[in-house]
Amino acid sequence: MKNSVLKGSAFIALGACSYGMLATFVKLAYREGFSLAEVTVSQFGLGFLGLLILTLFRKQKPATAAKTPGTKGIMRLIMAGISLGLTSVFFYQAVQYVPVSIGIVLLMQTVWISMVLEAILHKKLPGLRKIMSVFVILGGTILATGMFEQSAGINWVGLGWGVMAALSYTASMYSSNNVELGFPPLKRSLYMITGGLIIIILVFHSSLNSEFSCKIFMRWGLFLSLFGTIIPPLLFTRGMPLTGMGLGAIIASMEIPVSIIMASILLKEYVGWLQWLGVVFILLAVVLMNVGKKMQVH
């Protein structure tokens, strides 16, 4: 059992690290002159292609063949994937205006937003510990975004896009945990990425012209698709059943420090001690919210 938990923890940690690298790759692509449309289309286009190839060549077990998605199930997953595509659009738009360290903190507001959504949907107020966690997250966010240090220099446009990304990410997380759970994980990922690709093409259809640089596919598209749409979902679907949702959520929060460290090393973004303190508060809140959950280890 301990080996299974350790193995699951490793899968989730690697998945979180993969997600944590995304924003830095996007910023580097921006520095080379690539646009938001080029970045998102290449990520989801190659991600869709990669997942499609994996799905076609993966041998199905007889037990899973009976769970092949029907038309209605496929449409539900594609619709659920729309929020996944919008999350990338909003988040990548945000990091055009704010540092990666601030962008990732804004995206992680989904931790408490999802709790509010759950309370509304289930008509049940959260416990005292979860309410305390929300205030800890909000306090950590104020520190991590540097509002005390540079209130006059805060880019509110970037903050707005970051909040929209968090709202969309919350919808994505809800869909991932509630929509058509009986389907094979690989196919679920494929159909959701399909939905994301469709919405991205609709949003940026006017940019898909002669000015669209296909160089993005070879330059950054491969990195973005691997670390954003292919590797993490596969690792999470392998790891979560082994660790349980509580421990899994705690380990997945590694995405925040990994993202900030990557940005500070490759982008030379400055992160002050107050910002790091804010990040610590947010991570502690994630632990506080999840440590009491039962770990259903298999």
pTM of the complete model = 0.85
Q: Could you tell me if 193 and 44 are in contact, meaning their C-beta atoms sit under 8 angstroms apart? A: yes
User: Token pair for residue 263?
Assistant: 């940005």
Those residues whose C-beta lies under 8 Å from the C-beta of residue 267, and which sit 6 or more positions away, are 24, 27, 28, 99, 100
Phi first, then psi, for residue 195 (nearest 5°) are: -60, -40
Q: Could you give the CA distance from residue 292 to residue 122 in angstroms, rounded to a whole number?
A: 20
Q: Check residue 125 and give its pLDDT.
A: 81
Q: Which residues of the chain are under the pLDDT cut of 70?
A: 1-2, 59-69, 146-153, 244-246, 290-298
Residue 254 three-state SS: coil
Q: Could you tell me if 67 and 183 are in contact, meaning their C-beta atoms sit under 8 angstroms apart? A: yes
Q: Could you give the CA distance from residue 265 to residue 268 in angstroms, rounded to a whole number?
A: 5
Which residue type occupies 83?
A: S
Q: Could you give the CA distance from residue 103 to residue 158 in angstroms, rounded to a whole number?
A: 8
